[in-house]
């Protein structure tokens, strides 16, 4: 008998592929999506995607979306308090399993497991320790489509921001950059997936660079598949505009 589970949905390729495998796993019945958002800018945390596009993803997946609303630079205590409050209604529905798209960041996995165990929940990692290049090829073979919406300029220059996430993108990655961006090199927005009812139309907006100061207490997000410290450099963002 399957058990209810929530999907930690960033809107990017890793969470999208993890959801694909979770939906095919008879152990789980995925009932909800959970996404961390920047409450000040009203965009997906770190990815910078507008909430209108996030809502369109949830609509096409056919699952209810819960938003974990955070200040721009939350401290650990603020983050953990908000996470517990946000998860409480989901736990009341009987959800005890939380699915993530992380691949190999051991310290981030341990953080997630410890925090969830403290409130009686279990973390699940469908993609864990699979080679990044294999995952990206599987993602492409399955027909997922995404655009790169953010790059860390410590690893990739601005030309990578706004590109389609395809075989050419994988080929052009510099040596040392993880194929899935597991170290926070880049983030993406999935606009089509095998379980979407239809592709999401969008237009390209402006491309901007932003820098961040490291917070006093570094946040290890319980939703994103980022490196634990994503504030070590400047970031290029490509804005995507919804098409009504």
Which structure tokens are listed for 105? 């960041």
Q: What is the pTM of this model?
A: 0.91
pLDDT digit string, tens, across residues 68-109? 999 877 788 888 999 999 999 999 999 999 999 999 999 999
Which of residues 232 and 197 earns the better pLDDT score?
197
Which structure tokens are listed for 75? 């401290």
Give mean pLDDT, residues 145-153: 97
Nearest one of 19, 12, 16 to 147, comparing CA atoms: 12
Nearest one of 47, 34, 53 to 100, comparing CA atoms: 34
pLDDT digit string, tens, across residues 164-176? 999 999 999 999 9
Query: Under 8 Å CB-to-CB from 141, ≥6 apart: which residues?
Result: none
Residue 238, pLDDT score: 98
Instruction: Provide the pLDDT confidence category of residue 213 given band limits of 50, 70 and 90.
Output: low
- Ranges of H-type helices in 62-100: 76-92
Nearest one of 192, 178, 194 to 24, comparing CA atoms: 194
């Amino acid at each position: 008998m399957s058990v209810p589970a929530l999907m930690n949905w960033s809107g990017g390729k890793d969470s999208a592929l993890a959801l694909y495998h979770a939906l095919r796993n008879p152990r789980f019945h995925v009932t909800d999506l959970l996404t961390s958002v920047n409450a000040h800018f009203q965009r997906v945390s770190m990815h910078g995607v507008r909430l209108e596009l996030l809502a369109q993803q949830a609509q096409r997946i056919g699952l209810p979306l819960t938003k974990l609303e955070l200040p721009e630079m939350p401290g650990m205590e603020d983050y953990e308090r908000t996470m517990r409050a946000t998860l409480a209604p989901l736990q009341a529905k009987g959800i005890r399993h939380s699915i993530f798209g992380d691949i190999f960041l051991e310290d981030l996995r341990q953080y997630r497991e410890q925090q969830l165990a403290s409130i009686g929940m279990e973390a699940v990692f469908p993609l864990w320790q699979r080679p990044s290049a294999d995952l990206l090829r599987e993602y492409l073979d399955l027909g997922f489509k995404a655009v790169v919406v953010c790059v860390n300029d410590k690893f990739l220059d601005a030309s990578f921001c706004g590109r389609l996430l395809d075989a050419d993108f994988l080929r052009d990655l510099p040596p040392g950059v993880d194929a899935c961006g597991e170290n926070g090199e880049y983030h993406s927005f999935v606009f089509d997936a095998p379980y979407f009812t239809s592709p999401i139309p969008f237009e390209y907006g402006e491309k901007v660079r932003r820098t961040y100061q490291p917070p006093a207490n570094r946040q290890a997000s319980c939703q994103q598949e980022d490196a634990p410290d994503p504030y070590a450099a400047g970031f290029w963002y490509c804005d995507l505009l919804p098409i009504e």
